[in-house]
Structure 1
Amino acid sequence: MEQHQVPRNISGFQFHLIGDMTLRQFLYVASGGALAYFIFRFAPFPSIINLSIAGLVGFVGFAFAFLPIQERPLDKWIVAFVKSIYSPTQYLWQKEGNMPDILLKQATIHVKPASKNQIENHKYAKEKLRSYLATLPSTPHETLNERERKYVEKTLSLFKNELVLPSVPSSTQSSYVSLTSLSKMNQNLPISSSSQANSNANPALQKDFAGLAHARVTTTPPQDRIISYPAPPPPHSIPSEVKPAREIPTIINNFGRTPEIVPNQQINDSYKEQEAMQKKLSEMTSEKDALLKQLDNLKRELETAEKPNIIRPSNSTETRRGPTIKTITGKAEIINELGLPNLPQTPNLIIGVIKDSQKKFLPNIIITVKDNKGMPLRAFKTNKLGQFASATPLSNGTFNLEIEDPLKRYIFDIAQITLSGKIFLPIEIIAKGEREILREKLSKEIFGNPNI
């Protein structure tokens, strides 16, 4: 299939008659240029003002032609702006007193009366439905409802007789509280119009559905049942002459049995058993704690017995000597031998070189300058010639130089320097290898002096 072009707005299409410009664009550019030339040539102002006004007018004509905003030219924006200012922005609705004609016309509804055949067919269908429902057997839920109804009637019959307790001799008379049924309240309530309409329904429909099994509405009002309960007696002992009524045991026997009373001997025995169990539990916990303590002691003894002798590695730095500093004098010969540049003329600048025991330069060694409190102040890194230098001077005082080899090949002592506001001479720091460490260790073991 051939691909079709994107649909375009044909009604607003304009032909490019003059080069790549449409006729409207050409008119805007030409009018703007002509007006700018006229202002520049004939306006009665200084040449600077005429030139600025003419440039502004020419730019406006160019903008109207070639600078749209949101794909809409500036002339349409100006027209929309003027219309929005002069058109109303708020509309009010006022209701008229005249009714519409469509509401005044009376609607006529034509009801077609039912034919005799439709009425006879409807009656025949009702008779068939009635005969079919009469042949259906009783469903299980109806028998269940019958059992429930009997059970409810049986429980309500228990409350027909009033429960009367004999009077107890006391200072206050017992008061009775009666609960009346809601039938009296329902008699006083107004009957809704819907219930009246249902009562005055078509008797023919009631006759049609008389054989169906459904809930029937009883017209006889329910009888009032009064259940009298005595008020609670005062908290004192009841005399032995008072005998309980006979109605109370019957109700208790109907609803459930009274709980058996446990004798005091059984309660005491159970308490004794609980106390014995608690004693056994406390003894077991104490034995458990003692066993745990013994187990901890055995573990500690095993650890101390099996702990091997710790052999310090050859490159251990636990026993360090004091800082060793070699100050390089300001002689040019020594400076040239060490490969250092000229001495700095600013006081308190640190400069130095790091070598190994064979006088070889050590590159990429990290030097950290710390004060007496251990706060780092400067950090350097040696170049390929093992040199390091600080760019800014330090204050007067004593500082420690901690040196570290990233490759863990050499070990360095902590160098301590003192700055006093004078030109600081370069220092030379010698690294320690495995050979030097073994030599110090042997000399210390043999002679008690680390220096041989």
Structure 2
Amino acid sequence: MAIQQHPVPQDISNYKFRLIGDMTIKQFAALGISIVLSVMTYSAPLPFFFKYPLSFILLLLGVGTAFVPFQGRTLDVWIVAFIKSIYSPTQYIWKHGHQEVVTAPISENATPQTPIVNISAPATDTTPVTNQSTNDSTLDSKETNVPLVKGGNEGDLIQTEPIIETNNQNQPIEQQPVIQEVLNTAQPVSETITIDNLSSKIPQPDISSLPIPFTPTTPNTLVGLTLTPQGQTLDGVLVEIKNQSITMRATKSNKLGQFLFVRPLENGLYQILAEKEGFKFESYSIQLTGEIINPLRIQAI
């Protein structure tokens, strides 16, 4: 079975029906209408100097509309666009319009909302309080009731308030002895903190929380982490790898303090140097033998 070539896709949305050859229905209609109008103008009882040019213009217009496109557009499209451009505005004026803010009307029967306030229960004092004597022996009070006195002519009764007389002498207030157990419980217990306990309470950096890079899978590939003297990650550290005082690789640690050398090194002895302004690092030596190297830890001193 011979392989048939797939037909070229066509634009079916703008498909035009063709009547004679490549002439479409639109072209045929434009040409037919122009011929009919030119014949009617030629047959009309008009002066010859007006009839002949008009018939020729109508016929030429129909032929141009049907067969002479200009810049990919037919003549009728250009005529319609020209008429629209004449009647369409060419100058626009912007005016600032006042926009009214529409709010919902307030209801007459609206009830005000009362805020909800959470009141916590008052703290109760758990310290036992000794009962004070109900007898007020500290003050010698004498209450004198004044009899009712008749007013002048009106005969109204006036009752005076009772007068309390107090002694001016300050007498000592008797205090009951406080229970020793209450004093013992009320006194705060002071904890003696030694140097060992203080050092144990200082938070130490957790190594497991550091963003240690993954172990490389290629031999002689170096990755690592740069740290501050306190064990925190340090970024922007220039890490150099030298072999016989010749710089072989150089890179800087990222925001997480990680550095990575993508290209593996050859076997041999290398020196690792780190440098950052404000920090001091020691130099390290490493012997590469074609094995997987665990992530390095470079910490400032």
| TM-score after normalising by structure 2 | 0.31
- In terms of Rg, which structure is larger? 1
Instruction: Output the TM-score relative to the length of structure 1.
Output: 0.22
More strand by share: 2
Q: Relative to total residues, which structure has the larger helix share, 1 or 2? A: 1
